[in-house]
Amino acid sequence: MTEPFTTSTSPAALDDLRARLRATRWPDAPEDAGWSQGVDVAYLRELADYWADGFDWPAQEAALNRLPRYRTTLGGHRVHFVHARAKAPAGTALPLILSHGWPDSFWRYTKVIPLLTDPGAHGADPADAFDVVAPDMPGYGYSDRPTGTPPDTIAVAGLWAELMDRLGYERFGAAGGDIGSGISRYLALDHPDRVVGVHRMDAGLPVYLGDRADLAPEERDFLNSATDWATAEGAYAAMHRTKPQTAAIGLNDSPAGLAAWIVEKLRTWSDCGGDVERAFTRDEILTNITIYWLTGTIGSAMRMYRANSAIPPAQHARRVDVPSGFSLFPADLVRPPRAWLDRIANTVRVTEHVRGGHFAPFEQPRSYAEELREFFRPYRRAGSPTCR
């Protein structure tokens, strides 16, 4: 059964949040450390003060509730999703499922959904409208936290295929970034008869099982850069994979700690020139973090990394035959060369954007929406929805 879903946070929950923020025991910081050793404590104190005394969560919650939100049970998991139908004649829109990553939720796509469902209202061709489905992965956002081992990206792809079937979509497009890039990939790999095209914001961190001598020089450079990135920036992922419960104790108890864990990534992975508030307003940052706080999902979200680390290497070696497109944004984590994209997928389109980073649908929603319209346009006839 699929049921409409909205949220209404109790005043007591918000009072508790504010009390915890005001009682934060702040650490010292080396003089002039800034962001060089992790989060800038001075900036975080300002953000925490605003979270406690200026941030209007009820207004943000009301805005989220204006989206058409639902919950349904898939594979034993109660899953929350947005299902926004196109402003177009019935049966003409392309169904599109958008998959998020960490540290976010359906929040990643809230800016881009109206651009995709009603392009005519935003200066684009009304014929490029999508029926958009944007779920929260189990353990993220308003989807329930798994009680046991969380599903990995392969299993979540299976859940999303079931969700699209339940919504009456026989064929559809898939798009995503971060963990959502992997989910979109497995949708194309395991359900190629249903996925008309797959669009990804990244190619994931590379896994190569062959002889590196067989790779092009730019591919070897890409693998080396990914290793360098993991050494310099991957400590959070190692914690998620190995000891997520240790980190979860503090992050689930301290809103300041939770904010530190997330906002440092929003800054480092976005195209903000070192100023996170060039990419996101304070209200936008805190909406994302408050969803994690109120749902208590930081631990369950991290545990998915542990589940994904157990995926057999052979799964990473599979090549996607479904037509694939990639949007490469200049401030994203690691940028694959075209030779690598051709190796791993039936790559028909690669776009190198001038601005944007890891959270492109939020940072550059117009550019991202335009790219999805362009990429999926040739596959619309094949993707016409079959409603049951």
Tell me what the mean pLDDT of segment 39-50 comes to: 98
Q: Rounded to an integer, what distance in angstroms lies between the CA atom of residue 375 and that of residue 64?
A: 28
Which pLDDT score, from 0 to 100, does residue 4 have? 98
Confidence category of residue 325, pLDDT binned at 50, 70, 90: very high
**Chain Cα centroid distance, residue 11:** 29
Which pLDDT score, from 0 to 100, does residue 379 have? 95
pLDDT by residue (tens digit) across 118-141? Answer: 999 999 999 999 999 999 999 999
Say if residue 382's pLDDT is above 80.
no
Amino acid identity, residue 338?
R
Which pLDDT score, from 0 to 100, does residue 381 have? 72
Say if residue 142's pLDDT is above 90.
yes
Whether a cis peptide bond, with omega within 30° of 0, leads into 103 is yes
pLDDT by residue (tens digit) across 170-207? Answer: 999 999 999 999 999 999 999 999 999 999 999 999 99
Say if residue 383's pLDDT is above 70.
no
Q: Between the CA atoms of 22, 25, 28 and 33, what dihedral angle is there, to the nearest 10 degrees? A: -50
Helix axes 11-22, 255-269, angle to 10 degrees: 80
Say if residue 167's pLDDT is above 90.
yes
Q: Angle CA(170)–CA(198)–CA(144) in degrees, nearest 5?
A: 70
Which pLDDT score, from 0 to 100, does residue 304 have? 98
Strand order of the β-sheet with 172-176 is: 2-4, 69-74, 77-84, 130-135, 94-99, 172-176, 195-200, 320-328, 345-352
Which pLDDT score, from 0 to 100, does residue 90 have? 76
pLDDT by residue (tens digit) across 360-370? Answer: 999 999 999 99
Q: Between the CA atoms of 111, 117, 122 and 124, what dihedral angle is there, to the nearest 10 degrees? A: 130
Confidence category of residue 385, pLDDT binned at 50, 70, 90: very low
pLDDT by residue (tens digit) across 336-379? Answer: 999 999 999 999 999 999 999 999 999 999 999 999 999 999 99
Compute the half-sphere exposure of residue 23: CA atoms within 13 Å on the CB side of its CA: 8
Which pLDDT score, from 0 to 100, does residue 88 have? 84
What sign does the dihedral 251-255-259-262 (CA atoms) show? positive
Tell me what the mean pLDDT of segment 79-106 comes to: 95
Tokens of 48: 């925490």
Burial class (CB in 10 A: 0-12, 13-18, 19+), 37: exposed
Q: Rounded to an integer, what distance in angstroms lies between the CA atom of residue 166 and that of residue 151?
A: 19
Say if residue 384's pLDDT is above 80.
no
Residues β-bridged to residue 131: 95
Tokens of 2: 């699929």
**Chain Cα centroid distance, residue 41:** 26
Taking a C-beta distance cutoff of 8 angstroms, is the pair 105, 92 a contact?
no
Q: Rounded to an integer, what distance in angstroms lies between the CA atom of residue 363 and that of residue 354?
A: 12
Q: Rounded to an integer, what distance in angstroms lies between the CA atom of residue 144 and that of residue 10?
A: 19
Q: What percent of the chain has pLDDT over 90?
A: 95
Give the active site residues: 178, 305, 358
Please provide the distance, in angstroms rounded to a whole number, between the alpha carbons at the two ends of the chain.
15
Nearest C-alpha neighbor of 387 from the set 147, 79, 165, 110: 165
Taking a C-beta distance cutoff of 8 angstroms, is the pair 119, 112 a contact?
no
Confidence category of residue 386, pLDDT binned at 50, 70, 90: very low
Compute the half-sphere exposure of residue 377: CA atoms within 13 Å on the CB side of its CA: 12
Nearest C-alpha neighbor of 295 from the set 139, 135, 74: 139
Residue-averaged pLDDT of the chain: 96
Tell me what the mean pLDDT of segment 137-147 comes to: 97
Residues β-bridged to residue 74: 77
Tell me what the mean pLDDT of segment 285-298 comes to: 98
| Domains by residue range for the chain, with CATH | 2-379 (3.40.50.1820)
What pTM does this model have?
Answer: 0.96
What sign does the dihedral 316-319-325-326 (CA atoms) show? positive
Confidence category of residue 91, pLDDT binned at 50, 70, 90: confident
